[in-house]
Amino acid sequence: MCGDCKNFETIAVHGSCEWSENTGSISVPIYQTATFKHAGLSQSTGYDYSRLQNPTREELEKTIARLEGGKEGLAFSTGMAAIDAVARLFLPGDHVIISDDLYGGTYRLFEDVYKNYGIEVTYVDTTNLEEILKAIKHNTKAFYIETPSNPMMKISDIKKISELARNNGVITIVDNTFLTPYFQKPLDLGADIVIHSGTKFLGGHNDTLSGLLVASREDLIEKLRFAQVSIGATLSPFDSWLIQRGIKTLPVRLEKQQQNAIEIANWLKECSEVEEVFYPGFKENKGHEICLRQASGFGSMLSFTVKKKETVEKILGNVQVISFAESLGGVESLITYPYLQTHAAIPEEIRNKIGVTDKLLRLSVGIENINDLIEDLNKSFNK
């Protein structure tokens, strides 16, 4: 290991510094192989089959573990595959408390898949510790939180929730997709497992799918690794290389994206057709002070509601620089309509209760020139 790689930006560029080969390659090689040759009986290179282990994927797993400050990382074919591995920690009769404002795919997984296997779920506003406390049962095994939440940008106090979890003998799972370890490190705040949709900011270019987990406890790592290799939704060598390459520019991209997001959030705030803007960087945001304590940035995700429903269709039909598309976190700015896209799986009454109405839009701000982005928004509002 190169001992001089101590700061985040340097680790992001150089990775774990544990891989080696004798060509002098600066880029981690793509070991595009399904299987590995053995010299003889009971003689192994340490690699047998790429579902079980692959040097390219291992480098990514070690890198994300190092960036998050965890013991080990695990790379999956998608973010949902990573969440599925976490869900497999629970047994029939177990109870999980989950943020009520969360990605629709996560809701669908627990409601339509794991409830059939006897996993009980309660959705609460995890920004309110009293609500979490009231929801705890004798069979509660975990708190699962998104912070900032998707799409309402609600901030949950990771440190206090983790303390509450430890006092009640349960684990804390944090989806850190929106801020990444560059801005927020849940394990340092007491969480046990961190989840990423690596498709988003870690990959950063809207060109590949991946999911990542990092854990701080050996017992959890053992169970998660067993689920990973047994189910087989492991990340391919080439996609592992793409995510590793994306991580190299993560700090630079996030700083630029955040800078753009702050300007756009302020512009939207002054727009006569906008009703409300949801962004953790605003002092009036309910979780602003918590975000200041537990994170070093506010990120580049924001949501806003418009005063008239017709404005939604007008914006989505007129944006040119910003793309009307699902997903987030890439260098290209994307605008999404959660009501019918990312959160369509959530029942309408729940969507309306948490604020995911038919007048809400979510914006993932990219690295384009800020003047082009604001001009694009201005034209889309006024056409």
Catalytic residue numbers, as ranges? 51, 103, 175, 200
Maximum CA pair distance of the chain? 74
Nearest 10 degrees: CA dihedral of 284, 289, 292, 295?
-100
Please spell the DSSP secondary structure of 350-368, one letter per residue.
HHHHHT--TTEEEEE--SS
Q: What angle do CA 60, 62, 68 make, to 5 degrees?
A: 100
Task: Find the distance separating the first CA and the last CA of the chain, reported in whole Å.
Answer: 56
Hunting for tokens 């900011």 — which residue is that?
A: 201
| H/E run at residue 107 | helix 104-108
Cβ-Cβ contacts under 8 Å for 131 (sequence gap 6 or more): 124, 125
List 98's β-bridge partners, or say none: 123, 144
How many of the other CB atoms lie within 10 Å of CB of 231? 15
The strands making up 72-76's β-sheet, listed across from edge to edge, are 72-76, 211-215, 193-197, 171-175, 140-146, 95-99, 120-124
How many of the other CB atoms lie within 10 Å of CB of 167? 10
| H/E run at residue 377 | helix 370-382
Cis peptide before 148 (omega within 30 of 0): yes
- Select from 346, 320, 374, 328 the least CA-distant residue to 79: 328
